């Protein structure tokens, strides 16, 4: 694939699709803004279209598809493809954000939960189902991001959505931690899956780690390290100047 060639010279103004391995702690918009700045500086232009095909939470890592120029018209196409994630659920605790971005607000006793009960519960989450997006999400409510409202102690009026989880495989159980692999269609919130999984066990759960490993046929192993790509662009800028 073109984007996968390490020595490829990008034509960002005309349009490129670039695979990025999003760093931990960065928002998807952080990555877009960083690349937009570097592209404008590299090409000495004031404006360039840059967007991403599917948000990853700040505490998640993994595959992010970035489109520039004319390729931004293809973003919806990439967003529509199935996605694969790996991660870890922590049982026995709840947070307002359903992950580790916020502090625990409730703790549970997990001593009575068995591996058999956990495996049986996981099977209930495969297929088409209703899911309520988290209050701490990028979902827009009346023109505002839900997470902005949540951080101001305001509750967004978020409606349930219909999603499809094609595979939910538990790869290791070492309580309170459960590692998993998920394959799903667009629109699934893995944080909500973790939260609902805890509720189904009459307990609590948070998402403690998440990595997106695939979008359609594109895998994270093909992705550029953001900082190495930034260094490559800087070196090209120096050599061309």
Every domain of the chain and the residues it spans: 2-80+217-240, 83-215
Instruction: Tell me which fold the domain 83-215 belongs to.
Output: Pseudouridine synthase (3.30.2350)
- With beta carbons less than 8 A apart as the criterion, state whether 18 and 66 touch: yes
CATH code of the domain made up of 2-80+217-240: 3.30.70
Residue 1 binned pLDDT confidence (cut-offs 50, 70, 90): very low
Please state, in angstroms and rounded to a whole number, the distance separating the CA atoms of residues 48 and 70.
10
pTM (2 d.p.) = 0.89
Q: What is the pLDDT of residue 142?
A: 61
Contacts of 190 (CB under 8 A, 6+ apart): 85, 87, 182, 207, 210
For the stretch 148-159, pLDDT in tens is 655 667 676 678
Please state, in angstroms and rounded to a whole number, the distance separating the CA atoms of residues 22 and 19.
9
Question: What tokens were used for 19?
Answer: 């695979």
Please state, in angstroms and rounded to a whole number, the distance separating the CA atoms of residues 185 and 52.
17
Q: Does this chain's domain 2-80+217-240 share its CATH topology with 83-215?
A: no
Active site residues: 57
């Amino acid at each position: 694939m073109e984007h996968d060639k390490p020595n490829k010279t990008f034509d960002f103004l005309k349009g490129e699709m670039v695979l990025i391995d999003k760093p931990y702690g960065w928002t998807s918009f952080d990555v877009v803004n960083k690349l937009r700045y570097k592209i404008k500086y590299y090409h000495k232009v004031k404006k360039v279209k840059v967007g991403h095909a599917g948000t990853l939470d700040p505490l998640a890592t993994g595959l992010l598809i970035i489109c520039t120029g004319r390729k931004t018209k293809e973003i919806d196409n990439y967003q529509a493809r199935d996605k694969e994630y790996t991660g870890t659920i922590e049982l026995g605790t709840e947070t307002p954000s359903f992950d580790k971005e916020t502090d625990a607000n409730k703790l549970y006793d997990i001593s009575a939960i068995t591996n058999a009960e956990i495996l049986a519960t996981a099977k209930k989450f495969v297929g088409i189902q209703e899911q309520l997006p988290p209050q701490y999400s990028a979902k827009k409510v009346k023109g505002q991001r839900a997470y902005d409202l949540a951080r101001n102690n305001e509750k967004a009026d978020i409606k349930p959505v219909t999603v499809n989880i094609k595979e939910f495989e538990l790869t290791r159980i070492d309580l309170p931690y459960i590692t998993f692999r998920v394959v799903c269609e667009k629109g699934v919130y893995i944080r909500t899956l973790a939260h609902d999984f805890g509720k189904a066990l009459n307990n609590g759960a948070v998402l403690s780690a998440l990595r997106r490993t695939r979008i359609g046929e594109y895998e994270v192993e093909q992705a550029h390290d953001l900082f190495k790509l930034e260094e490559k662009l800087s070196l090209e800028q120096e050599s061309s100047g």
